Chain A
Amino acid sequence: DTEVTQTPKHLVMGMTNKKSLKCEQHMGHRAMYWYKQKAKKPPELMFVYSYEKLSINESVPSRFSPECPNSSLLNLHLHALQPEDSALYLCASSQGRDPSYEQYFGPGTRLTVT
């Protein structure tokens, strides 16, 4: 099973709201990722967790707060977002931190900030 699940599929939130995106995998992968993808652009890396510890933060604004409660779950907490944060947020996982491992992606959460 090479499935990564993400909830919700769609999210509309106001700039003062607090919401969370959830990602789950049951492949025993030890690295998990958050990407942001704007329309007609490639995914941009936001965060990497390796063995449940944050290993990469690509200078993401603090209104995005990642959390990795256990090796299967990855959350992205959202607060005080801006309209330009509207995008497709993709979660991915890989077997480990080695760059040779392929990443498996979830279907994404399409976020609209109003």
Chain B
Amino acid sequence: AQKVTQAQTEISVVEKEDVTLDCVYETRDTTYYLFWYKQPPSGELVFLIRRNSFDEQNEISGRYSWNFQKSTSSFNFTITASQVVDSAVYFCALSEAGGAQKLVFGQGTRLTINP
């Protein structure tokens, strides 16, 4: 069965620090998809990125970067030069090609950026 583990429950850093959110997943499928979502205090989950299991290329989008490593079943998310607006709960999620539209979330990491 698919599983996503975000071991870091809460992280607190000072503005402008770099921070990495860890995500480890388990799946038996050879084809699967990994996602990161951001949930600010307003409640809406905001889609950040999708990665498929065949594409291990790392991605950078502004201050955000993602490191996908199949060898360690990890899909980590780094925020460079963090800002107060980055404060939110971040969820890593997994869906399997044979998983019938089910998106399985990790427990989430609450990130607080202090001014």
Contacts and interface: CB of A to CB of B under 8 A. Distances in A.
Contact of B45 (A31, A40, A41, A105): A105
A11 B35 CA distance: 30
Contacts, number: 63
A46 to B, nearest CB: 12
Most chain-B CB neighbours within 10 Å: which of A45, A90, A100? A100
B19 interface: no
Given A42-B108, A102-B35, A97 B101 contact: yes
Contact of A103 (B43, B47, B96): B47
> Which interface class (under 10, 10 to 19, 20 to 34, 35 or more) fits A?
20 to 34
Contact of B47 (A41, A48, A56, A102): A102
Nearest to B91: A42
A55 B100 contact: yes
B16 interface: no
Contacts of A42: 91, 105-108
Interface in B24-52: 33, 35, 37, 42-47, 50, 52
Contacts of A94: 101
